[in-house]
Amino acid sequence: MGDENVSQMTRDALKQLRQGLLRLHKTLLDMERRGYERARGRIGNSYEFLQLVLKDPWFDWLHRLSEMIVQIDETLDNRDPEQPTTEEDAKALLARAKSLLAPAESGSEFQKNYFLALQQSPDVVLLHAELMRLLGK
């Protein structure tokens, strides 16, 4: 492509995507916490919850979303002159986000759980619509 810099429009899209994904992640975490507590009992405190999110298979599917947010952060913060982020790299990341957020009854573990979350939560539906509008640009 030749262009070593990410356009401001693409940077802005990544920043907006990051904000939307953070809101979606929090909403899904809250929803999963409620489900976990219904099934297994109350979670004692924030530290215990964090340990569950990091290590319990119940929350494992949400790690894909966390990883996507980290990739966006790394792309936006990249200051490596040897390996600068290109416009192509940034657009590929937007495409990966769109692919990740494609709910499917018979897709990846994330896509299946995301499909179920969309059935259960109007908040998830609203955030999904917002992210799809952003990613459709």
Query: How does DSSP assign 70-100, residue by residue?
Result: HHHHHHHH---SSSPPPHHHHHHHHHHHHHH
pTM value surpassing 0.75: yes
> What is the pLDDT, as a whole number, of residue 70?
96
pLDDT digits (tens, 9 = 90+) for 24-37: 999 999 999 999 99
What pLDDT does residue 2 have? 39
Domain-by-domain residue ranges, the chain?
8-136
- The pLDDT of residue 137 is 57
Quick one: pLDDT at residue 119? 97
Which residues in the chain land under pLDDT 50? 1-3
